[in-house]
A = this chain, B = another copy of it.
């Protein structure tokens, strides 16, 4: 409960309200690779990630996959459930063992009506999400691939970065393909881009793992500054 009270969407709730929130929740665990929700299924549950990582992705009618974002502990997914029984627009899949709290759409609706603070926090959370997507859309429309990949890595580092001896490790199983699907390019181009940075000592990479050795240099790439 202490952990839950620190989560953005439940900030400012008193103990009894938190107890009520928790009483309505069920615990949902998933193993690596297992899906919480599948694109196209009717949305009836809303989730709040407690631990692990979840990848949100969308498949196009042509079968191409696009990675929307990674969900970190404390963030929600499946919000569409509170709108009624629309289909989920994305697939949410655990990339490592994960634990989440889940509410039915109806139950969460009732919670919001009884505790307006949740609605307020939820709007704040979603507004922030909108802002992030706006930023990415701007990037997608104006930046070259190298900058987009740099921005993608920096976003991941902020969200899932772990300080290690050499720099900042992005603590996720992250393939070249994933990065390509996040930044709207191909795994080939990502591979070449990372290879270039590795040569310049900016990052070090292994299979499904990237470590930022000189984050400031990557910021310079992302902002298109002359290299320092």
Residues of B within 8 A of A120 (CB): 82, 109, 112-113, 119
A133 to B80, CA, bound (A): 14
List A109-163 residues whose CB lies under 8 Å from chain B. 109, 112-120, 122-124, 126-131, 133-138, 140-142
Task: Give Cα distance in the complex from A185 to B141, angstroms.
Answer: 7
Q: How many A residues face the partner with a CB closer than 8 A?
A: 47
With contacts A68-B134, A123-B126 known, what are 13 further pairs, Cβ within 8 A? A62-B224, A66-B137, A68-B137, A68-B138, A82-B127, A83-B127, A83-B128, A112-B123, A113-B117, A114-B116, A118-B119, A126-B126, A130-B133
Asked if A73 is an interface residue, CB under 8 A from chain B, the answer is no
CA distance A127 to B31 in the complex (A): 27
Q: A166 at the A/B interface (Cβ < 8 Å)?
A: no
A178 in the interface (beta carbon within 8 A):
no
- A167 to chain B minimum Cβ distance, whole angstroms, is 25
In the complex, chain B residues whose CB is within 8 Å of the CB of A213? none
